Structure 1
Amino acid sequence: MKNEQIIQLVAEACDDKRAEDIVALDMNEVSLVADYFLICHGSNERQVQAIARAIKDTMDENNISVTRIEGLEQARWVLVDIGDIVCHIFHKDERHYYNLERLWGDAAPVALHVSQEG
Structure 2
Amino acid sequence: MDTPQLEQLVVSALEDIKGKDIQVIDTARLSALFERVVIACGDSNRQTRALARNVADKAREAGVEVIGVEGEDSGEWVLVDLGSIVVHIMQPAVRSYYNLEELWAATPARPTRPAARAA
TM-score normalised according to structure 2 size: 0.86
The aligned counterpart of 2:114 is: none
The aligned counterpart of 2:112 is: none
The 1-side partners of 2:32 and 2:40 are apart by: 21
Match for 1:14: what amino acid?
L
Match for 1:51: what amino acid?
L
The aligned counterpart of 1:8 is: 8
- 1:30/1:106 contact within 8 Å kept: no
Structure 2 unaligned residues grouped into runs of 5+ = 108-119
Runs of 4+ in 1 over 6 A off after TM superposition: none
3-state secondary structure, aligned to 1:46: helix
Please report how far the alpha carbon of residue 92 of structure 1 lies from its aligned counterpart in structure 2 after TM superposition: 1.4
TM-score normalised according to structure 1 size: 0.87
* Identical-residue share of aligned pairs (%): 38
Match for 1:41: what amino acid?
C
Q: How many residues align?
A: 107
The root-mean-square deviation of aligned C-alpha atoms, in Å, is 1.1
Please report how far the alpha carbon of residue 60 of structure 1 lies from its aligned counterpart in structure 2 after TM superposition: 1.3
The 1-side partners of 2:28 and 2:63 are apart by: 24
Greater strand fraction, Structure 1 or Structure 2: 1
The aligned counterpart of 1:49 is: 49
Question: Quick one: higher RCO (CA 8 Å, sep 6+), 1 or 2?
Answer: 1
Structure 1 unaligned residues grouped into runs of 5+ = 108-118
Match for 1:104: what amino acid?
W
Match for 2:76: what amino acid?
R
